[in-house]
Structure 1
């Protein structure tokens, strides 16, 4: 399968290696950064320096490809999806942006090719898990989805290191958050809904952020009483972000905040991803709860060290592409994450990264 992979950042490089090494994909990696592309060399892929914000140049690259895998910043998702439609390519991306997803859904109407956004960790895998658990209930009460990509060794006041895109991070902290409350679809405020919990003896906080639910609100509306998604951080992070975005009004100058974070907050490869889903409802006349809880750790091998967020995000989109190639997903139109069967995902050669993770023994 011929694939144009847009973006050669940390996630793009991991996607390139996974797909390139599999032997089933001919991958052309496209980026404006020659140095980033050089890091993809030797991974069985073709590299091409292209200005990814130049619509005509990007369109030229897509001609003759069968699929587009978009690992560019979220604000380029709509453009990339339009170009995929024009080129007759299937389309997959990692966006968490709600507006972009709704536009891609519109683009996919009547298309002869498939469009599957939100193929990462959250949205992505978290929605697959939640929908799988929900299907086993006769009636649903509460679906709670919690995900965190955290430094294993936090040292600063925010108790955070950059583990993925700063653009995506600030975007999810600033936009309204879809949820279902008492059966009604609502927009909750970001950074609100603070709660605390412990996992394996470590204390965490969780709060509303945008985009993690994917399309689950539409899928489960009328079927569930409460449905929400919250991002997990170490205690104290939310208050400091609220101070920066609200009190200092940096929500209105996000580029300044992003610049400060890039200059002052080191990236880390030593991270951990938490996945924590609880679903409650009625089964055979009894009120029951099902829980899915995992920790995925960074791979510190000398040859190709990978952060936990690289592993989980790349595994999500590569598994989606692989299941699609195998005919296990619809072959045209808009594809929701919850259309992926969890057992098929975990059995997939890429999705098995989640299967190999450590199941959390206790939650308090």
Structure 2
């Protein structure tokens, strides 16, 4: 039985609207808030309440959150420090979608003295991919390598970038510009974004994979000393990385992110005809033998719901469900990998990630635990 909670969702963009709808469907009292009344009018449909709130105005945010049990931030990453601070002050449990390493470090510090749960990096990558990676590592007695590859791509690429922005433009730029964490030969280290390009073939489709920032979440810390090599790379269609290097480095747009934002917004329009590909591989010793395991998941978007909308929103809502079920820490900083994969997939939102995956034996996600339907 669902215990109804008063939940605020900040940000009425492509992901925030879906999160609000999923939580409302589970019986919660949901209010979707945004600084733009026009954006809210477009999102309104009777499933949840709406309210005009500027999340950058911390005084207004304190008033808005004072009687909420949970807040989910689907805002750009640069607003989340302030939102998390106000959430801790108003005793509101906090969830976000950030990939930003500095923001997560700030929230981790807040969590040291917080009386509420602070759960950043929900969604797909970081998020679901971190839970998959931790589960993969646990399958081996000694872990040689964990490779995580995730792509959110247009199903029918038509421009030179072979890409459409299907989530946050600011988040995309951030992960293309900032240093990337990996584990190499047992040691955490930083490598540049857009480097380490490799060719990947999945189900007959060619991709390139390259370093991007934030995808590992807190796994480098969680698996410290337990894995020899670990990396996260973004999947794109071949040729994308070189064009982005031209923009970011040769034209110096890494130092002029507002111009880059305008270019991407103008040239890479949103589409729901997208595809999300998740590819996780583990190599390690088990029963004295070197073995390899892989999980491949594919999600196709449609006119009603994009693949990145589904996977990101479901990943976030599943963490909210786990928290309300008492299967995550009740307060302080919460890592994505604090969630057990079997429990995550047994939530209503997690069950959607199993049920809507294409070309995969879903039971193979958790080989030792049966997946329970959460319908």
Q: Under TM normalisation by the shorter chain, which class is it?
A: over 0.9
Q: Give the match for residue 154 of structure 1.
A: 157
- 1:68 equivalenced with 2:67 (yes/no): no
Distance 1:195 1:58 in 2: 44
Q: 1:304-315 residue pairs with structure 2 within 5 A?
A: 305-315=304-314
* Shift of residue 330, structure 1, vs aligned partner: 1.2
1:22 aligns with 2:26: yes
Cα separation, 1, equivalents of 2:308 and 2:194 = 21
- Give the aligned partner of residue 337 of structure 1: 336
CA deviations on 1:3-30 (whole Å, 9 max, x unpaired) are 111111110100111111211x111111
Which residue of the other structure, out of 79, 86, 89, is the alignment partner of 1:86? 89
**1:267 deviation in Å?**
1.4
- Counterpart CA distance in 2 for 1:28 and 1:155 is 37
Can you give the 5+ residue segments of structure 2 that lack an aligned partner in the other structure? 362-375
- Aligned residue number for residue 358 of structure 1: 358
1:187 aligns to what?
190
1:224 aligned residue (227, 232, 238): 227
Once the two structures are TM-superposed, the CA of residue 246 in structure 1 deviates from its matched residue by 0.6
Is the 2:136–2:146 Cα contact (8 Å) retained in structure 1? no
Is the 2:179–2:192 Cα contact (8 Å) retained in structure 1? yes
Which runs of structure 2 are paired with 1:280-291 in the superposition (5 Å)?
A: 280-291=283-294
Cα contact 2:274–2:302 (8 A) shared by 1: no
* Cα contact 2:155–2:273 (8 A) shared by 1: yes
From 126, 130, 145, the counterpart of 1:127 = 130
Q: What do residues 45-101 of structure 1 show as CA deviations (whole Å, max 9, x unaligned)?
A: 111112221111111100111111110000011100000000001100000000000
8 A Cα contact 1:324 1:330, kept in partner: yes
Alpha carbons 1:17, 1:40 under 8 Å: kept:
no
Partner Cα distance (1:7, 1:310) in 2: 14
Equivalent residues in 2 for 1:282-301, closer than 5 Å: 282-300=285-303
Matching residue of 1:102 = 105
Q: What TM-score, normalized to structure 1? A: 0.96
Measured after TM superposition, the shift of residue 40 of structure 1 is 3.3
Contact preservation (8 Å) 1:2, 1:67? yes
1:323 equivalent in alignment to 2:326 = no
User: For residues 50 and 112 of structure 1, what CA distance do their matches in structure 2 show?
Assistant: 25
CA contact under 8 A between 1:16 and 1:43: conserved in structure 2? Answer: no
Query: Would the aligned equivalents of 1:21 and 1:43 in 2 still touch at CA under 8 Å?
Result: no
Structure 1, unaligned runs of 5 or more: none
> How far did residue 34 of structure 1 move?
1.1
Partner SS for 2:44:
coil
Structure 1 residue 38 displacement after superposition: 1.7
Aligned mates of 1:285, 1:313 — CA distance in 2:
38
Q: CA deviation at 1:134?
A: 0.9
Alignment partners' CA distance in 2, 1:67 and 1:267: 29
Q: Distance in 2 between matches of 1:359 and 1:121?
A: 19
Residue aligned with 2:43, SS: coil
The 1-side partners of 2:55 and 2:101 are apart by 22
What's the TM-score once normalised by structure 2's chain length? 0.93
Instruction: Give 1:138 shift.
Output: 0.5
Secondary structure at 1:155 match in 2: coil
Q: Are 1:194 and 1:206, in contact at CA under 8 Å, matched by a contact in 2?
A: yes
- The match for 2:200 among 189, 197, 202 is 197
CA separation in 2, counterparts of 1:32 and 1:68?
16
The Cα shift of 1:35 comes to 2.0
Cα distance in 1 for partners of 2:232, 2:46 equals 36
Equivalent pairs counted in the alignment come to 356
Matched, 1:12 2:16: yes
Mapped contact 1:139–1:223 kept (Cα < 8 A): yes
Task: Give the superposition deviation at 1:360.
Answer: 4.8
Residue matched to 1:248: 251
For residues 180 and 243 of structure 1, the distance between their equivalents in structure 2, rounded to whole angstroms, comes to 28
SS of 2:125's partner is coil
